[in-house]
Chains A and B, each alone.
Chain A
Amino acid sequence: MSATGQSQHTTGIAPTTGIAGVGRRGQVLEGPVLQAIGLTKQFKQFTAVDNLSFDVHQGEVLGFLGPNGAGKSTTVGMILGLIKPTSGSVKIAGVDLTSDSSLVAEHIGAIIENPAFYPYLSGRDNLVAHALAVGDVPESRIEDLLKLVNLTERAKDKFKNYSLGMKQRLGIASTLLTEPSLVILDEPTNGLDPAGQREIREIIPRLADEGHSVLLASHMLHEVEQVSDRVAIVRRGRLITEGSVDDMLRRGGYIEVLVPGVDPEAAARVLRRVPVVEQVTIENGRLLVVAPDDAGQALNRALFEQQLIASSIAVKHSTLEDLFLELTEEPQAGA
């Protein structure tokens, strides 16, 4: 992953089929694939989404995080043209959605909440039905996609007889029918067993590698952390923070320093004098130093000069879960 937000995924999985092209029909897009600009949605007195803005760039995976009721599904609904924004706009490939509603069908493939298909049709026929609806999808693409999601052998079975994992995989195949610029996955591993979750986690970076942008709305923070280039965290319909996963994780990180047999306060005083150190706190005899990741050598030198020997200096990054909880936790009543 890079600071520019461009994907550098390597999954180690050989592509089973060619999802050729960048964006729809191999089209290379300039600028963000998706721009949400000041999106607001008011349902009577309730503001579900409040002046929300974010971009999704070509070939990146954006993790879209928020607690229940944060407005994620409403936002996805507005992006897909299912819900009309009270104000703000959505641009797809630089074009305003309100001026051309066909943009969604052309540029976006989406699984909304759970993958929903016609129960009386087989997996293959469900893809055929979707392909007919958009038109201009070669028959070979359906077979390629079935192969991609490992459903070729069960393609003739009725959708109603599929396991949840198979339904999710069929959902992902369906999103790729039109070679979309943007794939929206809303809780794609919901209810899956660990093997199923892993399969989906492996597919997502592959989509980005092949040029698709992915908007991944999920509660599975570990999963988002693993596959996303950037994350946007929303609470009560508002964007709280947005940035690259690396930056986010660094933001809550610290360097843990252990100096046994010495008064921790004395060691802390030494470390506070090091120019790159922002803050030093003591917790259970450990020194928690807020400083750049590469400050370890300077910290060690400063201690050594005062004849203090550190037994361990370790960089500790926070997890996305820590950050998410910190940012989205509601203040306690009376606090």
Chain B
Amino acid sequence: MLNLLKSELFRMRKRPQTWLLLVVAALFMALFYGGPTVATFFANDANAADLKQNISLVDIRDFGLSLNSLFGGIMLAIFAAGLFGNEYSWNTIRPLLARARSRSALLTAKLSAALLYTVAFTFALAALTVLFSFISTMVAGGDWGFTGERLLDVVWYTFGLVAVNLPYVALAMLAAMWAKSNAAGIGVAIGLSILEPSLFGIFGRFSFVEDIQKGGLNQNTVDLLSNGLTSGDGWINLIVTLIYTGIFVALAYRVFLRRDVTSG
């Protein structure tokens, strides 16, 4: 499995998409911070003060890192779907399988690569967010609001972001493998993240639906980020999120180990 993981990481490193996704997410982040920073020069005092607080480290969870959650999630779904979808579209899955000591070893290597990328991507984007916050505050002339405690909070929050992204990453991989298509993986993962809260929003007036919603993936990811990993409820949300991840991973093993690979 380690050999296959090395091969995955080698290809990840050499693939432009790996870096492009981070660059695109960083550009969005730069715009997200750049806009309010410029606006502080034209806004009245009260509004400028609000904007300066937004771009400082004080509001980073609700401001910059919320974007990390949104765009980061989309970028990671694109990446994860490509791990299998592209193998099928490039017809490289069969040669790769013929090189693997076993199918489970190949799937484990791909899941490990996805996990490593998710952690690295989320933390890199969080670090860039902190950097943009710092630069914006310097330009706008406010107080950055830096304390060690706040930085630690960012680190914990970023761990939460990783956990929130994991089930969607696993789902994107599962769907891309199942359908042998990149688009299917991206569509299902992003679709679920949009559809689930929308459906619960529509049917949430019924009490039994409210109970179901509490066990839903979206509700638990939202609660995990708001409760944080420093509270007991946050850990329950984390466990539920990881259970969903586990279900998607188990399904991926079931599909991949049983399937005849006749194309790709």
Contacts and interface: CB of A to CB of B under 8 A. Distances in A.
Chain B: number of interface residues, binned into ranges: 20 to 34
A80 B6 contact: no
A74 B260 CA distance: 10
B100 A132 contact: no
A161 to B, nearest CB: 15
A289 B192 CA distance: 76
Interface string A97-141: 000011011001011111011111100010011101111000000
B260 A82 contact: yes
B95 interface: yes
A117 B95 CA distance: 8
A285 interface: no
Contacts of A40: none
Interface string B122-155: 0000000000000000000000000000000000
B261 to A, nearest CB: 4
Nearest to B264: A116
A133 B96 contact: yes
B147 to A, nearest CB: 43
B206 interface: no
B47 interface: no
Nearest to A184: B98
A3 interface: no
A114 B90 CA distance: 11
A80 B99 contact: no
A134 B3 contact: yes
A119 B14 CA distance: 11
A118 B10 contact: no
Contacts of A105: 98-101
B48 interface: no
Interface in B1-30: 2-4, 6-7, 10-11, 14-16
A83 interface: yes
B92 A117 contact: yes
A130 B99 contact: yes
A110 B92 CA distance: 12
Interface string B62-91: 000000000000000000000000000011
Contacts, number: 84
A119 B260 contact: no
Contact of B7 (A73, A104, A130): A130
Contact of A102 (B95, B101, B261, B262): B101
A113 B4 CA distance: 23
Given A82-B261, A119-B90, A101 B101 contact: yes
Contacts of A181: none
Interface in B95-109: 95-103
B94 interface: yes
A128 B10 contact: yes
Contacts of A125: 10, 14
B90 A133 contact: no
A88 interface: no
Given A105-B100, A120-B14, A133 B4 contact: yes
Given A121-B11, A129-B10, A80 B101 contact: no
Given A83-B260, A133-B7, A134-B3, A116 B95 contact: yes
Nearest to A132: B7
Nearest to B258: A84
Interface string B22-62: 00000000000000000000000000000000000000000
Nearest to A108: B98
Contact of A82 (B14, B90, B91, B98): B98
A174 interface: yes
Contact of A132 (B6, B15, B91): B6
Contact of A114 (B7, B91, B101, B103): B91
Contact of B97 (A82, A102, A134, A174): A82
Interface in A70-85: 73-74, 77, 80-84
A128 B6 CA distance: 10
13 contacts: A77-B261, A81-B97, A84-B260, A105-B100, A110-B95, A110-B98, A112-B98, A113-B91, A114-B91, A116-B90, A118-B11, A130-B99, A132-B6
Interface of A: 73-74, 77, 80-84, 101-102, 104-105, 108, 110-114, 116-121, 125, 128-130, 132-135, 174
